[in-house]
């Protein structure tokens, strides 16, 4: 019984660590995407200077901005992650 109990605890501990790792990664992805969305909206609702100030406040780097008519697409880098977001002006 003791060996089975130790085995059970080891499997449970590994499972918990895996779940926490995956949860943390998805949280980072969601944060990067939210930042990209906010920066894209700042571009269309304000101006590039405001978008850059927001990016600085969010601790992200604006990698690329493209304009196709009224659609602005922003690619940001947050740590090792990149996220893309588009917004339409008007």
Q: How far apart are CA 6 and CA 13, in angstroms?
A: 10
Q: Which residue segment(s) compose the domain that 20 sits in?
A: 2-88
In percent, the amount of the chain with pLDDT more than 90 equals 91
Let me know: does 60 contact 84? Beta carbons within 8 Å: no
pLDDT higher than threshold 70 for residue 1: no
The total number of structural domains that make up the chain: 1
Please state the pTM of the whole predicted model.
0.82
pLDDT higher than threshold 80 for residue 90: no
Q: What is the pLDDT of residues 48-76, one digit of tens each?
A: 999 999 999 999 999 999 999 999 999 99
Q: How far apart are CA 5 and CA 10, in angstroms?
A: 9
φ, ψ of residue 76 in degrees (nearest 5): -120, 160
Strand, helix or coil for residue 70: coil
Q: What is the pLDDT of residues 8-38, one digit of tens each?
A: 999 999 999 999 999 999 999 999 999 999 9
């Amino acid at each position: 019984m003791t060996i089975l109990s130790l085995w059970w605890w080891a499997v449970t501990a590994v499972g918990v660590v895996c779940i926490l790792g995956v949860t943390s990664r998805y949280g980072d992805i969601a944060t990067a995407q939210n930042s990209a969305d906010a920066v894209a909206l700042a571009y269309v609702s304000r101006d590039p200077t405001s978008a850059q100030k927001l990016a600085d406040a969010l601790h992200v780097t604006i990698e690329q901005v493209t304009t196709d008519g009224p659609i602005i697409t922003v690619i940001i880098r947050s740590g090792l992650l990149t996220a893309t977001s588009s917004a339409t002006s008007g």
